[in-house]
Structure 1
Amino acid sequence: MHVEPHLGPRGANYSPLSPVDFLDRAVSVFPNRQAVIWRDRRFTYGQFGAIVQRMADLLEARGIGSGDVVSIMCPNRPEMLAAHYAVPLLGATLNSVNTRLDESTVSYILEHSESRLLICDETCEGISSASARNANVPLLVLPDEPTHEGEKLFLLDGPTPPVRPFKARIEDEWHPIALNYTSGTTGKPKGVVLHHRGAYLNGIGNTLALGFDKQTVYLWTLPMFHCNGWCHTWAITAAGGTHVCLEKVDPELIFELIGKHGVTHMSCAPVVLYMLINHPARSSYQPTNRVSVATGGAAPTRTLIAEMDALGFDFIHLYGLTESYGPSSMRELEASETALPLEDRASLLAQQGSRHPTSNIVRVVDKNLEDVPFDGETIGEIVLQGNTLLAGYYRDPEATETVFEGGVFHTGDLAVRHHPDGHVEIKDRSKDIIISGGENISSLEVEGVLHQHPAVLLAAVVALPDSKWGEIPCAVLELKPGASTTPEELEAFCRSKIAGFKIPRRFIFQELPKTATGKIQKFMLREELSGKASG
């Protein structure tokens, strides 16, 4: 068959892909269905659509339009969710800012992104106000109650604007929908530009892969500012589910909300789950239904899986980056695997699995970009190709060309592929491999062993320079409340499970530096410990 000129896209058979369309459908098809729960308030999709329109109208009145960047520094509350629709429907780009960043970093983001406006919650007003002044950016504050005081913006109540198609102004699916700055696990943040097309596809992919539907009640334990909540800000709406907004991670409140609202899904870093299993409120929690919990950033340990299973949680291990709109692959247990011994289940869930339906092609390649054997042993770099990848790094063409070198996206993660299913399992970040006496040591492998010790809550293993061995592994540990151990005990514990050259030569007990989403910042540990190198 040959392609004829009349066989192409036109107004009747083409519409740019955008997750804003999910809200258009929700408001028109099920306007009375419960959309958002926040504190003691509930909003239907019709009411939530009105909040979005009021926000869009206010932004437009302030001159916000196509090509502008609007920043928001806010915990998980309805207006934060609304911003994921109100900003892009104007053709503007949403810049969600980590609420735990310091003034200098927020100022840098506002300046680098060329932000036209910063919206903040009252809990973030101090740093937001100072950063906005530094960057000469106007500030709007979201109060809890109606007010007309100063630059305050209350959107939850008010007149219902005329129903207008939210997607009407979106003409190009490659137009930037979000500008997200990397979490800082590797140093200075870079501006990741995401487009409408990728956000739409990853939203649909998450809906299919994680089983979101109209019965879904999603508890926002994951910050919406983190990679747009892994695109779940859009995915839950696409499914017609309910968003339960949670402003801070409080284990007692999490247990309460799960029971009160019949939560079916949540997402978070493993550190949040460790908080749950070690909190006194756990003892009085009585699960009434199973909860699917999607976790990423570190593989769940056997202890965590056992403890959470007893509380009624089913694990899904996700893998992705800010640059891939969040989840790019996943590993969950098949029905035939759920009855396996705990050790086997933990081993399977430690894998990053395979791509989800609309995500990127996931490969593990050698230095020549050739696929490594599916033998579970040969280590290569994970590279991605597909529709859910960043357009590039904002104002950084050199970094963009580097990360896309060879026609693939380089993640920097080192992994193997298992036979025969081809599931991916990360062994380490390229920068986190420790080379001691010519031997490669996976910091993740050593951390996995340390997490099995009953006293250890969190472990991070980094390289220390050493005059004899080049590098030696150093373990930095947070212990469980009330627990204690010694370097000698930990060394003996490790010796029973891994080769001698992999055992940490030093054990340090302190709180680990983390991002707002619970990722351990190893680069900060390396900087902190660099002065403690052996001579």
Structure 2
Amino acid sequence: MRVPMIDVNVSTDVIASRAMSIVGMLDHAATSFSSKACVVAPERSVTFLQFRAEVLNIASWLHRIGIRPRDRVAILDVNSLNFMLAACAVGAIGAIIVPLNYRQRVPEMRYQIRDSGARLLLVGSRYDSEAEALASDLELGARRLDGDVFQACLSAGDGAADVELEHNSDSPFAICYTSGTTGNPKGAVITQRVAHMRALKLLYELGLRHDDVMHMTTPMFHISCLMLSLGGLLRGSTQVVAPQFDVDSTLALIGRHGVTFINVVPTILSMILNRPDFTPAMLKGLRVIMYTAAPISFPIVPGIDFAGVVRDSAAPEFAPATACCSPAGAWARHGPAVLPNAPGSSPSGC
């Protein structure tokens, strides 16, 4: 028996976006969801209209310091509002982001900077020592994402009036590096069109709604989280951002903000469910749980059967991310056969 996908009810106006570009996404979101909360971060929140305005101000600043179309801009930071703003700003002027894995060592980061030809590093303050070590490999050096200059440009300027914005959806958007487990990492080039289609595919498969509140526990340097963020932008979903995963703070965040969609890895799910004082009520608002990186183990599933469960198999070199879904209550009705991509599960689970 084939298990139906999670119910999808998404307006087709997303497809009618004038161009499958980062600028097209920003314009669509600002027009369609203007005063709605776009990102809720520890330091502040912004609406969709504010998000677009700040992206364009950053784009103007990037242009002033010498970034041009097709230039590579590396980003090194934990999940943050500034990471999202910077990534979109780089794409808005036709430059290319190179997200760096903050878990890697400096020599590994240096290889990716040299291989990609990055001219600038945008970096969070917790990685100042890495930035100092990498500065000599960057023509324009490193600039702090949470520094005074960057923060000042968020509200200054006239929305990139002095910059020609990139509307060509075939322009490269990101170079995402593989892990390099069998040799040197390989940089997969993701165009703005592919990024748009990846986000759109996830949007439809996950059944994202404009009233969803999303929280991604996986890092933004990974393609899965990056595309989910763009999907939320397209759909008008609010995204609640936290720097890194912590069981207590994540559970508090879910309850405080009414999170309905969460992106995790199986280990994180286990840590939440195995918390000594855990009760299902702590996750009662979740509508969709998306997991990635590894198959989920059978013991975890009964504890999350109240929500739709999605397996994401995103990797940098995949054109669209792939997903398998089972709806809420499927385990109780059908047992292991419905578990997406679990060891020994039936293909009917997808």
Specify the TM-score bucket, using the shorter chain as the normaliser.
0.7 to 0.9
Aligned ranges for residues 387-406 of structure 1 at < 5 Å? none
Partner secondary structure for residue 82 of structure 2: helix
Aligned to 2:216: 220
Partner secondary structure for residue 223 of structure 1: coil
Aligned counterparts of 1:292 and 1:253: Cα–Cα separation in 2: 19
**In proportion to residue count, which structure has more helix?**
2
Aligned to 1:24: 27
Length-normalised TM-score, structure 2: 0.86
Aligned counterparts of 2:137 and 2:73: Cα–Cα separation in 1: 16
Aligned to 1:321: 315
Is 2:92–2:166's contact at 8 Å kept on the other side of the alignment? yes
Aligned counterparts of 2:344 and 2:225: Cα–Cα separation in 1: 19
Give 1:20 deviation, angstroms.
Answer: 3.1
Structure with greater contact order relative to length (CA < 8 Å, sep ≥ 6): 2
Aligned to 2:333: 340
Give 1:16 deviation, angstroms.
Answer: 4.6
Aligned residues: 335
Aligned to 1:161: 158
| CA deviation profile, 1:318-368 (whole Å, cap 9, x unmatched) | 22321115622x22225784433543444x552899xxxxxxxxxxxxxxx
Aligned ranges for residues 121-520 of structure 1 at < 5 Å? 121-134=124-137, 138-143=141-146, 147=148, 153-154=150-151, 158-159=155-156, 161-162=158-159, 169-227=165-223, 229-280=225-276, 282=278, 286-309=282-305, 312-324=306-318, 327-328=321-322, 330-334=323-327, 337-346=330-339, 348-350=340-342, 418=347
The aligned amino acid for 1:315 is V
Aligned counterparts of 1:17 and 1:188: Cα–Cα separation in 2: 32
The aligned amino acid for 2:215 is L
Aligned counterparts of 1:352 and 1:302: Cα–Cα separation in 2: 10
**In proportion to residue count, which structure has more strand?**
1
The aligned amino acid for 1:282 is F
The aligned amino acid for 1:333 is S
Q: Work out whether 1:97 is the aligned partner of 2:91.
A: no
Aligned to 1:79: 82
Give 1:200 deviation, angstroms.
Answer: 1.1
Give 1:101 deviation, angstroms.
Answer: 1.0
Aligned counterparts of 2:195 and 2:63: Cα–Cα separation in 1: 23
Q: Work out whether 1:45 is the aligned partner of 2:45.
A: no
Is 1:306–1:342's contact at 8 Å kept on the other side of the alignment? no
Aligned counterparts of 2:133 and 2:193: Cα–Cα separation in 1: 35
Match of 1:106 among 99, 105, 109: 109
Partner secondary structure for residue 58 of structure 1: helix
The aligned amino acid for 1:286 is M
Range with greater deviation from structure 2 (258-267 or 273-282): 273-282
Partner secondary structure for residue 123 of structure 2: strand
Range with greater deviation from structure 2 (313-322 or 53-62): 313-322
Superposed CA RMSD in Å reads 3.0
Give 1:160 deviation, angstroms.
Answer: 6.1
Looking at CA atoms only, which structure, 1 or 2, has the larger radius of gyration? Answer: 1
Aligned counterparts of 2:200 and 2:343: Cα–Cα separation in 1: 23
Partner secondary structure for residue 183 of structure 1: coil
Is 2:79–2:219's contact at 8 Å kept on the other side of the alignment? yes
Give 1:220 deviation, angstroms.
Answer: 2.2
Give 1:286 deviation, angstroms.
Answer: 2.9
Aligned counterparts of 1:305 and 1:277: Cα–Cα separation in 2: 10
Range with greater deviation from structure 2 (276-285 or 48-57): 276-285
Aligned counterparts of 1:275 and 1:335: Cα–Cα separation in 2: 21
Aligned counterparts of 1:207 and 1:352: Cα–Cα separation in 2: 28
Partner secondary structure for residue 322 of structure 1: coil
* Gap regions ≥5 residues in structure 1: 1-12, 354-375, 377-417, 425-535
Length-normalised TM-score, structure 1: 0.57
